A and B are shown apart, each in its own frame.
Chain A
Amino acid sequence: MVVCVLIPRFELIAACANDWRQLRQAAALAPEAGQSPVIGQVSRAAEEAFGILPGMRVGEALARCPEIRLIPPDPVRATQLWDQTLERLEAIGAEVESERPGEALFAADGLLALQGGLEGLLEATGKAVSHQRALAVATQIAAAATPFAARAAAWSEGHSEQDHQGRHFPVATRHIPAEQTSAFLSPLPITTLATDPGVESSLVADLQRLGITSLGALTELSTAQAADRFGHPGLRARHLAAGGDEPLHPRRQPEQLEETLELPDSVDGSQLGHALKLLIDRFLAMPRRQGRMIRSLVLSATLASGGSWRRHIALNQPSGSAEILHLALAPSLDVLPGPVSVLSLKALDLGATTPDQPPLDLDAERQRRLRLAEAVRQTRANAGPDALLRVLPLSSETRLPERRLTLSPYEPAAKTRSIDA
């Protein structure tokens, strides 16, 4: 038995802070600074009355509804709120899997006796996620035999914000008994597959184009047909639609390694660069780090004008060097939308206590080639397979310029006589 806790439009709710009643009107998350000018999550009123959808360009959204409220995103608050929600679920004994904010799953079997049966567990879950009134209004909880069925049941449950009477547990809870899983899934539209984070939207579109409009129709395909036409993604989709089970991957309890710097006089520009250096020095000096290298981290900022900003940075190699962290983080400051009042650095993933040791090799030429090969690999990983090319001569005497030279992927080990691009 799997329980799914779903809070639709979670990031929009978080951005509203305490003024969640904005969600009863047409509202949408404004584009993030430095990103493409498309809106984020939208309120139910915006979607149902005006047909405004996430990912729509701002101009089109305003044309459909000039009165729409564009709410600045607050990714820092969304992350904090979601982390609090997950911690509250873990406090009732749940081992939570959460691939995106607003959705969490956990196995119920080990908790039924602890919470006095399924009803008791669903009630305890509802209380755990109701630490904020806005969340209590929006939460939907479903229990089913498989993660996909639980997600589908949570998403398909209708929710009425007007029903909220001031109670501090969610209105919508649903239980699909194991023996009714197939009967529940079969009539659901094929778009239900999109609720699973591992299913590509292109697969759903392909299925619709081929006239497969329900999960039941998908299960009527044989595994050979599904594999032949759609490959492994199609096989997995068919497995989910047929009520197949998949194991959950509960999150590891994150270690709280975070340093914050308050800036009384909101800063930007070069002052912000100095503040970043100070923050990095403090972060690396934390005793809790215990000398471990940093693999990935999050740089976040509270803006003086309201709202917040957040960037996730993954390092190519684990490092504990202030210089390397500054090199990785400093470019992010260029896209900050305004002066900053609080700057924070949080480690997401830590490595070993010592950096990778270079091999003891006295062959300088071989070392140079190994470094060159690593540089090529990292360049292609960042900029794509066509990032590094070699110019090869074809025919110097042709009168057609495009037949004189060609471009070929650069391989450091190649020993052809050519010009390196």
Chain B
Amino acid sequence: MPQKRPYSPRPAAVKTVPPGRPAAVQGVDVEQIKEEWLVEDGWWTGLPLKRHYFEVVLSDGRNLVVFKDEGAGNERWYLQRA
């Protein structure tokens, strides 16, 4: 039986600026937002999925992908390899 999955999202501490764009990830400032995209899935089910992805470059040079989970109702941020 499959047990775990690579690329599983991990909760992340993200500071935002209006209108909800990431300004810092895990305490490190965001230098640039390279790309952003929206993923919506399962809207026909009782568990719709809606994620707002951002590919960001941090001030320490790292390139990360974060997303805001807008489908959960509490709008939490996550880090994910994509």
Contact = CB atoms under 8 A, between A and B. Distances in A.
A404 B6 CA distance: 8
A328 interface: no
Contacts of B26: none
Interface string B4-42: 111111000000000000000000000000000001010
Contacts of B4: 386, 389, 406-407
A386 B7 contact: no
A402 interface: yes
Nearest to A392: B2
B6 A405 contact: yes
Contacts, number: 39
**Most chain B beta carbons < 10 A, residue from A392, A399, A407, A408:** A399
A409 B39 contact: no
Interface residues of A, number: 15
Interface string B64-82: 0000000000000000111
B71 to A, nearest CB: 12
A91 B41 CA distance: 78
Interface residues of B, number: 15
A407 B7 contact: no
A399 B39 CA distance: 7
Interface in A387-421: 389, 391-392, 399-409
Contacts of A403: 5
Contacts of A402: 5-9, 80
Contacts of B7: 401-402, 404-405
Contact of A400 (B2, B3, B41, B81): B41
Contacts of B8: 402
A401 B3 contact: no
Nearest to A401: B7
A404 B7 CA distance: 8
A407 B8 CA distance: 11
B1 interface: yes
B15 to A, nearest CB: 23
A392 B2 CA distance: 9
A400 to B, nearest CB: 7
A389 B5 CA distance: 11
**Most chain B beta carbons < 10 A, residue from A386, A389, A401, A405:** A401
A403 B8 CA distance: 9
Contacts of A392: 2
Interface string A342-353: 000000000000
Contacts of A404: 7
Contacts of A405: 5-7
A399 B4 CA distance: 19
Nearest to B51: A400
Given A400-B39, A402-B80, A386 B6 contact: no
Given A399-B41, A401-B82, A402-B80, A408 B1 contact: yes
B47 to A, nearest CB: 13
Contacts of A386: 3-4
Nearest to A386: B3
A408 B39 contact: no
A389 B3 contact: yes
A400 B80 CA distance: 10
A409 B81 CA distance: 22
Interface string A44-70: 000000000000000000000000000
Contacts of A391: 6
B11 to A, nearest CB: 14
A277 B38 CA distance: 63
21 contacts: A386-B3, A386-B4, A389-B3, A392-B2, A399-B41, A400-B39, A400-B49, A401-B80, A401-B81, A402-B5, A402-B6, A402-B7, A402-B9, A402-B80, A405-B5, A405-B7, A406-B5, A407-B3, A407-B5, A408-B3, A409-B3
Given A401-B7, A401-B81, A405-B6, 9 more contacts: A391-B6, A400-B41, A401-B80, A402-B5, A402-B6, A402-B7, A404-B7, A406-B5, A408-B1
Q: Which 9 A-B pairs have the closest CB atoms?
A: A401-B7, A406-B2, A407-B4, A401-B82, A406-B5, A402-B8, A405-B6, A402-B7, A399-B39
Interface of B: 1-9, 39, 41, 49, 80-82
